[in-house]
Amino acid sequence: MTLNLRGAFAIFKNELMRMFRTAFGSILSPVITTSLYFIVFGAAIGGRMQEVDGIPYGAFIVPGLLMLTLLTESTSNASFGIYMPKFTGAIYELLSAPVGVVETLIGFVGAAAVKSLILATIILTTALLFVDYTIAHPFFAFVFILLVSASFSLFGFILGLWATSFEKLQIVPLLLLTPLTFLGGTFYSIDMLAEPWRTVALFNPIVYLVNGLRWTFFGRAEVDIGFSFGMTLLFLFICIAIIAWVFKTGWRLRE
């Protein structure tokens, strides 16, 4: 079966241009929010907590803040991208067009992942204005960021298909992802927690994502790195399987 690359690129380009048309909400807002985190947590807490596991506190929180942005922005961008065609009725034009599941995912999910990678680059550059840090394993950092962006863009695509209102689009990012990320070691090491809270924290999947990214930055983490990469890949394949089932059955697409 031949891929319709022109159709995939058309969807991809349209979704990517939407980010630049809404630059303040898509780019400036996350950067401003991240900068405020650095100012508040880096200055207020960093002044009292000089180092965590031998890492300056300001640098220690960089991977966590980057992960927070990646999770929320990847999910939100992909969910909004597919929800709007459903809301306006343009989804029927997409379903009748000569594009399949692969082309649709390349267009919508690919654009959301690229947006996240652009944001990650901007945030890492912005972080240098506040703290001095280096990335111990840049290749693995890029691969891990790419995996997380792709996985949660796919997750956001599923969320956009599931949602029947704009309110439902915000439920998962605001009430699930953001709290789990804050409790997943974004601003602290889970080794600082007393039992049984440290054991409880290990049931939070975001802990493994944050620590996986933290390992690529500093070469150390509180959890097994192989497990972190494995969980990310497993989540990626689960999302792909769900989307394949959705397009096969037409769930939420033809309602």
33 within some domain: yes
Say how far apart CA 77 and CA 66 lie, in whole Å.
16
Whether residue 50 contacts residue 61, with contact meaning beta carbons closer than 8 Å, is answered with no
How do residues 197-215 score in pLDDT, each as one tens digit? 899 999 999 999 999 999 9
Count of structural domains within the chain: 1
105 within some domain: yes
How do residues 18-33 score in pLDDT, each as one tens digit? 877 776 777 788 888 8
How do residues 46-77 score in pLDDT, each as one tens digit? 666 778 888 888 899 999 999 998 998 899 98
136 within some domain: yes
254 within some domain: no
Q: Which residues contact 249 (CB under 8 A, 6 or more apart)?
A: none
Structural domain of residue 182, as residue ranges? 5-249
245 within some domain: yes
Say how far apart CA 60 and CA 107 lie, in whole Å.
35
Q: Comparing C-alpha atoms, which of 97, 73, 71 is closest to residue 85?
A: 97
Whether a cis peptide bond, with omega within 30° of 0, leads into 196 is yes
Structure tokens at 131: 């703290």
